[in-house]
Amino acid sequence: QKEVEQDPGPLSVPEGAIVSLNCTYSNSAFQYFMWYRQYSRKGPELLMYTYSSGNKEDGRFTAQVDKSSKYISLFIRDSQPSDSATYLCAMTGTASKLTFGTGTRLQVTL
């Protein structure tokens, strides 16, 4: 079993929809949780960063962490075609070694 599980998609939604992306993990030592966005032919770029359990909001994006369930989510409100990308969850406990999910490919259609 992988340490981090992420549904690969692809996920196709109409413009304006609310998108929910999720990852589950098995390592209780993970404390820092990130979401990276990767556009086609580009490197991943950090989108959201949270520590421990709770919610964090940034514009149309909300990251949630539930450590008791070992489950993290990224919500995108009012999705736009420019949100079409692959979203990677990542997490770590210590020493800056990240463990990544496999990524979910999102397509937002007009």
Partner 1 sequence: DADVTQTPRNRITKTGKRIMLECSQTKGHDRMYWYRQDPGLGLRLIYYSFDVKDINKGEISDGYSVSRQAQAKFSLSLESAIPNQTALYFCATSDPDRDENIQYFGAGTRLSVL
Query: Measured from the CB of residue 47, what is the shortest distance to partner 1 in angstroms?
Result: 11
Other Cβ atoms closer than 10 A to 63? 22
Lookup result for tokens 């919500």:
75
Query: CB burial class (10 A; 0-12, 13-18, 19+) of residue 7?
Result: middle
Site string for partner 1, 18-57 (x = CB under 8 A): --------------x-x-x----xxxxxx--x--------
| Nearer Cβ to partner 1 (17/102) | 102
| Nearer Cβ to partner 1 (15/45) | 45
In terms of Cα–Cα distance, which of 71, 101, 79 is closest to 88? 101
In the window 73-92, what residues touch partner 1 (CB under 8 A)?
88, 90, 92
In terms of Cα–Cα distance, which of 102, 96, 105, 106 is closest to 24? 102
Q: Which residues bind partner 1 (CB under 8 A)?
A: 4, 6, 8, 32, 34, 36, 41-46, 49, 88, 90, 92, 95-98, 100-103
